[in-house]
Amino acid sequence: MSAEDFAALRQQMLVDIAAHTFFSRERIGKDVLDGRVMEVMGKVPRHEFVPFELKPFAYIDRPLPIGFDKTISQPFIVALMTDLLELREEDSVLEIGTGLGYQAAVLAELARKVYSVEIIEELATQAAQRLQRAGYTNVEIKVGNGYYGWPEKGPFDKMIVTAAPELIPPPLIDQLKPSGRMVIPAGLPDSQQLMVVEKSAAGKVSTQEILQVRFGQLEGAPDF
């Protein structure tokens, strides 16, 4: 497929995201997503962040397998989670669950620096290569257990988690700056909720449920 073909598919993806947003408006509390987020979704080459054989399907509004029983989230969810972060150009962002790097690329367009943790070494290596090829220089990746965040690089203005723990990991809350915001799916596999976690300037934590979702479980949580 040519660059023009992919560009046309990307524009259709934006139409699908906008329609999904409108039909979900009562649950997510808005009719449209931030224009900056939609602009970036229309720019980042999603087909460069999926396995080669799935490139023709990269812009369909659904999750796709990326190996190791993992998936790349559907475009609507990527756009919604990014929108809910309320990113600023000066933000330092922690991402848990790099996958092949697509969400990190979207974040990198909107924030100063992205730190991303991936538990599977081969995915982390591929993501770094794909991000480098696409020209992203403000993303740093490490192989590790995302449950514990990346304390050496924190605290962070924003956090995004692309796998679901049953409970929000305390280490992530600790690494969130005052006035910071986290977007995370959490809950039992059949009853996960996409949540926004906010920490006030005084350090008080509040949560808001947005909509029901289905993510893979966050690996590496300790057994209590």
- Active-site positions? 73
Q: Which residues contact 48 (CB under 8 A, 6 or more apart)?
A: 130, 133, 134
Per-residue DSSP letter, 153: G
**What does the alpha-carbon distance between residue 220 and residue 205 come to, in Å, rounded to a whole number?**
23
**What does the alpha-carbon distance between residue 108 and residue 102 come to, in Å, rounded to a whole number?**
10
**What does the alpha-carbon distance between residue 95 and residue 161 come to, in Å, rounded to a whole number?**
6
**What is the number of other CB atoms lying within 10 angstroms of the CB of residue 137?**
8
Half-sphere exposure of 141 (CA within 13 A, CB side): 28
Helix (H, G, I), strand (E, B) or coil at 72: strand
